[in-house]
Structure 1
Amino acid sequence: MITTRTTVADWACGMLYVFLVLVLVAGAPRASGVLHATGALLAVSVLAGVVRRHPSAALALTLLGATAVVVVPQRPHVGTLTLSYQAPFLSFLAVDLVLGCIVAARTRRVGLFTVAVAFTVQALVIGTFSHGDYLTLNGVIGLLALVASCTVALLMRERREHAVALRAQEVAEAVTAERLRIARELHDMVAHSVGIVTIQAGVGSRVIDTQPEEARAALRAIEATSRQSLTGLRRTLVALRQAEPDMTGAEWEALAPTPGLADLERLAAATADAGVLVEVRVSGEQRPLPADLDLAAYRIVQEALTNVVRHAGTGHCRVAVGYGGEELTVEIVDDGRGTGVPGPGHGFGIIGMRERVGLLRGRLSAGPRPEGGFRVVARLPLPEGADVAAAR
């Protein structure tokens, strides 16, 4: 229905343009050529929709209309030439306007073809109906008008293509950033759980014959950690797809992967099950944090504890969280072997921490301590009004 209405409207506009041109050339045959040219330029406004949907038809109509305005009105009076014949290029300004729209919106091949057709028609009409000194003047001005129209159209075309390219680049960068974020989330979550499962499985296999209760405790820890890991994976997969249309806000909030510093005790308990006792200390005025900063701090602690379980070879570590006036400080310290005796399975933990801290414009230091062990310190700046934003 909409297509039919549009087609009918385009036909009506084309017929109206033809009617207006007939009025110009027949209604006032002895009027000034400037009036004829102005009328032809104004009449082309009714072809705005036709130019957008049927550019070839619009160009043909304007070429015929401009030629008719020059050729039909009158013959030159005896001993004088009217302005219609002195400046025939004026009637083709409407053609140049339509031509510019076509060059700006259509393919280069279509643009070149329409320019060639318009140039040929204008050259023939101007060359035929210009006399004496006016021939060169009309030819040069007509050519300049056509070139100016095409130049402006090409600039608009390049600007549009540049905007499209920038948009595509922004989309690609956003996709890359999202992939990196997802990779960090999966790495932090899965690496921690798999590390605990590995430790508990090793303990269970060693004591299954001599200490059945210890083996059963290890299996229970493996089961609990696996369930938590599966829940986290489910949350991440749900976050990767859009929420279902019929999903309520409470259901979506429950599935959203939003751990934070409030979950440190649970994380410490899970790490203790893997054989590393975690001492959590919180200093400063504890208050709500922005969601991205709270999540990043939690993930940094999680990854650091995973490294302690895997590589430190110690049974104790300390996590200190300091709420300052301008920054949040997260410190993880252990008394293990540090990096002097590297353990197997080194991955991308430190790299992931640095990426998270860098995204929040913070600072990260990670390295062995002089007295032994390893120390990770992340300093995350707090944005102004963080309390109000987090509370909201």
Structure 2
Amino acid sequence: MVPLRHTLLKRVPPGVWAGAIWCVTALYPLLWSAPGARDDTAPPPDVLDDLWGQLFLALAAALSLAGCAVLTRRPWPGLVLLLASSGAFSVAWRLWEVASLQFLVVDVAVGFLASVHPRRASLPFAGAALAALGLFLAVRLANSGEGGTPSEPYVALTVVVAWLVGNSAYQSRAYAEKLRTQLLTQVAAQAVATERLRIARELHDMVAHSIGIIALQAGAAARVVDTQPEGARQAMLAVESAGRETLAGLRRMLVALRQADDERGEGGEGGEGDVEGRARAPLAPAATLADVERLAETTTAAGVCVKVRWRGEQRPLPPEIDLSAFRIVQESVTNVVRHAGTDSCEVTVDYGAKELAIEITDQGTGAGTTAGTGYGLAGMRERVALLHGEFSAAPRPGGGFRVVARLPVPPASPSPAPRPTTAGAR
């Protein structure tokens, strides 16, 4: 209930607040006419019996209401009307000094204008109010022979306080907006950097494996082209298949990156029509652990035997875990093909109760990707870190290389996915 009231109060225009204050303070001089409230500084009790007093009071009311109505849209005319209203009010009550309580309307106006305008624009508003008070004081000194302390300096102090409060509100709001803009900029920059890293990992994992297979098959074809033409032909067909597969994957990724622009109608015309047509076509599903068997077959056909072992009860996994697990296996197998110098490796996928464990081992003599400037291990570490898992990659004591990733997964699903056929040595 409190937030609702606070919201309703904030919706009240400043002009309404100023008008309400003027109406309340305009009634205050009537208390001077009450019994026992009479003093030497009070206006005559019959001051409003005069037609001119009534006319000036009506004029003061009209000027004040007009100033309150235009204060938000046209600040200078609004403030001038409120200052003129203060003068007419003092004349109506035959006062030679400013009516302190009634001048609160001007204070409210100055504070509001200072809260919505920068300092250089709001200072003239406060200066105009202070100049009006100086005029009141000059008229009083010129026409009143009475002594006493003038009220204008104290009223001027309320104007200064109102301006300071309004300017402080403006600065606080400007600072909050600046922080909000900086935060949004940082969030956007972080999102862009994260997306760039994700795209870089996908490109590396997809292209590196295919290029490794292509290089292996091309090398084999070059060695047997004279002695085994049919074997060389089969190897080159495998190169063609891997190349087409890689090209299709790259096209799908580029189409996905352009899809947002195409949906907003920002796609090109003419030569880009084919790209737009492909953007409207359904994209291939993301790779999962179910594709490990096909990966093993492709790599085995290229000359490096991949043996896959499945442990535990297999179940559906969240898409990000399924894709990351496959990419880790793919990158590790690619490293075996490119760096290990061996003709076989073993992949173990273990579905535990609370985690998915992946292990890739080989008996080669290479150093994996621990040396050089490759991004394979870095990409795998990033994937595992994003999923709050554990990752290790190091040479084995007895020779070869070992990659282990442990990814936390949700509890087992009541309806497990079909278990892929166990792949033995090929």
1:260 aligns with 2:288: yes
- Judged with a 3 Å threshold, the aligned counterparts in structure 2 of structure 1 residues 71 and 233 are, in CA distance, closer, same or farther, namely same
Q: Could you say which residue in structure 1 is the equivalent of 2:332? A: 304
- Superposed, which structure 2 residues align to 1:21-100 within 5 Å? 29-30=56-57, 43-44=68-69, 48=72, 50=73, 58-75=74-91, 77=93, 84=99, 88-100=103-115
- Max Rg structure: 2
CA distance in 1, matches of 2:242, 2:101: 92
| Structure 1: tracts of 5 or more residues without a match | 1-12, 51-57, 104-110
Q: Is the Cα contact below 8 Å between 1:360 and 1:381 reproduced in 2? A: yes
- Dislocated runs of 4+, deviation >3 Å: 23-31, 35-41, 80-83, 130-133, 243-247, 250-254, 342-346, 383-388
Q: Distance in 2 between matches of 1:364 and 1:92?
A: 67
SS in structure 2 opposite 1:347? coil
2:210 aligned with 1:193, yes or no? yes
Q: CA deviation at 1:321?
A: 0.7
Query: Offset at 1:214?
Result: 1.3
Structure 2 distance, partners of 1:310, 1:60, is 77
Are 1:149 and 2:149 matched, yes or no? no
Q: 1:329 aligns with which of 352, 357, 370?
A: 357
Structure 2 segments unaligned to the other structure (5+ residues): 1-12, 27-52, 141-148, 266-274, 418-426
Determine if contact 1:62/1:95 at 8 Å carries over to the other structure.
Answer: no
Q: Matched residues, percent identical? A: 42
SS at match of 1:275: coil
When the two structures are aligned, how many residues end up with a matched partner? 348
The CA distance in 2 between the partners of 1:174 and 1:209, in whole Å, is 54
Q: Describe the SS at the equivalent of 1:242.
A: helix
Residue 380, structure 1, aligned to residue 396, structure 2: no
Per the TM alignment, residue 88 of structure 1 is displaced from its structure 2 partner at its CA by 2.7
What is the distance in 2 between the residues matched to 1:208 and 1:47? 91
Flag the structure with higher helix content: 1
**Cα 1:91–1:190, aligned 2, differ >3 Å: closer, same or farther?**
same
Match of 1:280 among 299, 308, 317: 308
**Does the 8 Å contact 1:328/1:379 carry over to 2?**
yes
1:230 equivalent in alignment to 2:230 = no
Structure 1 256/120 Cα, relative in aligned 2: closer, same or farther at 3 Å?
farther
Change (3 A) 1:382 1:96: same
Q: Indicate conservation of the 8 Å contact 1:336/1:374, yes or no.
A: yes
Q: Secondary structure at the match of 2:403?
A: strand
What's the CA shift for 1:252? Answer: 6.7
1:119 aligns with 2:126: yes
Displacement, 1:303? 0.4
TM-score by length of 2: 0.73
Contact 2:348–2:359 (CA<8 Å) still a contact in 1? Answer: yes
Is residue 173 of structure 1 aligned with residue 200 of structure 2?
Answer: no
What's the counterpart of residue 371 of structure 1?
398
2:370–2:377 contact (8 Å) kept in structure 1? no
SS in 1 for 2:394: strand
Instruction: Give the 3-state SS of the residue equivalent to 1:332 in structure 2.
Output: strand
Question: For residues 344 and 207 of structure 1, what CA distance do their matches in structure 2 show?
Answer: 32
Contact kept in structure 1, 2:98 and 2:136, CA below 8 Å = no
User: CA RMSD for the aligned pairs?
Assistant: 3.5
Match of 2:46 in 1: none
